[in-house]
């Protein structure tokens, strides 16, 4: 009986750790996408819209939040989609985020 309790505890602990890792990856993706969209908006105001610079900013923010950017794409209209991965002992935790001006909302 004690063995079952220990195995169940380990399984629940692993599940909790995976959820925390996924939440951390989502936070990193959200922040990276916001930083990239902000960089594009600033470039638009200054007349120097630079998608590569915006993605470089996204990579910097992701690294500061313990993740790495797997992809960064400009969808047009100042909208950026960023996909990140965060390395964990259970494998990579992946997440994606989309950010841009309110005028670019779909729907």
**To which residue do tokens 């009986």 refer?**
1
CA distance 17 to 9: 12
* pLDDT tens sequence for the chain (107 residues): 888 888 888 878 777 777 888 889 999 999 999 999 999 988 777 777 788 889 999 999 999 999 999 999 998 888 999 999 998 877 889 999 999 887 766 65
Other Cβ atoms less than 10 A from the Cβ of 104: the count is: 14
**Rounded to two decimals, what is the model's pTM?**
0.81
SS3 (DSSP) at 23: helix
- Residue 1's Cβ-count burial label (10 Å; 0-12, 13-18, 19+) is exposed
CA distance 98 to 71: 12
SS3 (DSSP) at 100: coil
């Amino acid at each position: 009986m004690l063995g079952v309790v220990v195995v169940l505890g380990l399984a629940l602990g692993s599940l909790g750790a995976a959820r925390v890792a996924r939440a951390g990856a989502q936070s990193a993706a959200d922040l990276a996408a916001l930083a990239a969209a902000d960089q594009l908006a600033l470039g638009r105001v200054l007349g120097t819209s630079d998608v590569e610079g915006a993605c470089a900013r996204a990579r910097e923010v992701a690294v500061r939040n313990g993740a790495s950017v797997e992809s960064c794409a400009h969808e047009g209209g100042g909208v950026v989609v960023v996909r990140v991965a965060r390395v964990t002992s259970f494998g990579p935790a992946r997440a994606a985020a989309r950010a841009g001006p309110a005028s670019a909302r779909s729907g």
